[in-house]
Amino acid sequence: MVLTFSFSVSWPCLHTVVPANSEPTNKTFLYQIMDERCRHKKSKFHSFFIDAGGNGTDTKTGHYDADTNTSHFYVSPNNWAYSCSGDFQSSSSNTSDYIRNMTCGAPSLENPLYEKARLCPQALTYYGFCLKNGKYRVKLHFNEIVYARDEDYSSLGKRVFDIYIQGNQERKDFNIKQNARGPNKKWTENFTALVEHNLLEIRLFWAGKGSMYNPPLLNGPLISAISVIADFPVGGLSPAQKAGIIVAAVCIPLLLLALMWRLGLVGQKDLRDSRVELRGKSYSVKQVVDATRNFSSKMEIGRGQFGIVYKAELPDQTVAVKKLSPHSKQVIDQIGREVYTLRTVKHQNLVEFLDGYSKKGLHLLIYEYMENSSLAFALFGNFYSKSNLELDWNTRVYMAPEYATVKVITEKADVYSYGIVLLEIVSGKRNADYKADQEYVYLIDTACVLHSKGKLVNLIDEKLPTYDREQALTILNIAILCIDRSPMLRPTMSEVVSVLEGEKNIDEINKVDTSSA
């Protein structure tokens, strides 16, 4: 299993570009919500409708829920939520700009859905949860009502963003005005999505393209409404389902044969004949599958965007097996990326890739098994369980961040990510922590405030019984440099390493006042 760190950005002192395929911290909380609202996966929802930025309205399709909250993260009383990250370029902008109204004097579109919209500086993600698994029709409604005025020349502004459904990029460089042929004109985009774990994700991501219009510098994705409807029969049995029951009753012998094949009593020739090499020893793929207890939930040790990871107990060694989803359009790309990266890159802080198998809808990636799991689990645990590992100061300082990223934007983006990891290690806190009032508290916000007040020492983990104060402040100050808003002002990784190893003083790479800390 490749260990990665993912970060949310919703802090006033920073602005950065986050990869659109990063895993949002909000998902952990959503799974907790799902455990409460649809326990035992008894999902009863098969649709949801959102009047983005509006007060709610009724249409022939259904009732569109109001969506007027201005927080960074919000869970509705129904079965959807949204997350907004990033900051507007203008210093005068704030969260009130998340809700936008149609400009006065604009032509009427005879549909209240298009009179208001939700705007987000960088990444706007809507989640539909507790949904029945199956295929859905997703319809996104747009109307450019911000870059629309001739009086202030804002109509010359160009808004460009990408659209992702279930992690798949469906539209690149999407431009509302270009498609609708002008501002204040409605436009819809239609997609299909497969829900497998009762959760649907719709993400609109601004990658820094388009106009940097001033004023009011309100870039980022904008959307007027969302409708999601099941593309399968709901309620009673459909004629096709009834016919299927009749056919099944007639074909009981065939069903028994299929069951025997699934249990491994017959068939599975490919699994028996195919071999994988794990640390110089050869095993059949069937042996590996059996070692996971046929992908039993009791052997599950993690899950990600593309699949689930299982512990596999072979006779003479234990490995980790990632089973990729056969329905993902990015499975082949994922296999190619991980095999190439981990075959060619060897490092003591990277989990070793051992071998893989891909045939007839079964895609497996096999890695070394980490008994103590990851740094993230050691510090925070997960929504299944808490970590019982206690990391003292010395362990946290000789421990490197165990993560690998495939699509690196720039070298300084890696420096930024490393700075966040340093803050998490020393503070023992997550990058984003959810509070009961449905607002997130961001570690970087806290670090920036404490640094400005000369109280950065207050960030050190209170659970540490002892630690080197001077060393801790050095690490925290180098982390502050790494997360500077401007990439040009961030140090290089070689400079970071030289400070952490004591070869350079932090003042040699940047002027940082540490005396008051």
Q: Which residues are annotated as a binding site for ATP?
A: 323
Listing DSSP states for 444-506 in one string gives: HHHHHHHHHTT-GGGGS-TT-S---HHHHHHHHHHHHHHT-SSGGGSPPHHHHHHHHTTSS-G
- Mark 464-485 as b/e (b = at least 16 C-beta within 10 Å): eeebeeeebbbbbbbbbbbbbe
Q: Which two tokens stand for residue 446?
A: 């806290």
| CA-based nearest residue to 303, from 330, 278, 321 | 321
Backbone angles phi, psi at 128, to 5 degrees: -110, 120
**Separation of alpha carbons 244 and 242, rounded Å:** 5
**Separation of alpha carbons 88 and 94, rounded Å:** 8
Burial class (CB in 10 A: 0-12, 13-18, 19+), 67: buried
Q: Which two tokens stand for residue 258?
A: 């299929």
Q: Which two tokens stand for residue 389?
A: 């590992």
Q: How far is CA 500 from CA 381, 420, 467, 479, 505, in A?
A: 27, 15, 16, 11, 9
Listing DSSP states for 385-450 in one string gives: --------HHHHHSPPP----SS---HHHHHHHHHHHHHHHHH---SEEE-TTS-EEEHHHHHHHH
DSSP 8-state code for residue 510: S
Are residues 69 and 226 in contact, defined by beta-carbon separation less than 8 angstroms? no
| CA-based nearest residue to 99, from 55, 57, 140 | 55
Contacts 24+ apart (CB under 8 A), 342-345: 342/2, 342/367, 342/404, 345/404
- Binding site as annotated, residues: 323
| CA-based nearest residue to 342, from 363, 331, 356, 330 | 356
Strand partners, 84: 124
Q: How many CB atoms lie within 10 A of CB 331?
A: 17
Q: Which residues contact 298 (CB under 8 A, 6 or more apart)?
A: none
**Separation of alpha carbons 288 and 282, rounded Å:** 11
**Separation of alpha carbons 309 and 408, rounded Å:** 24
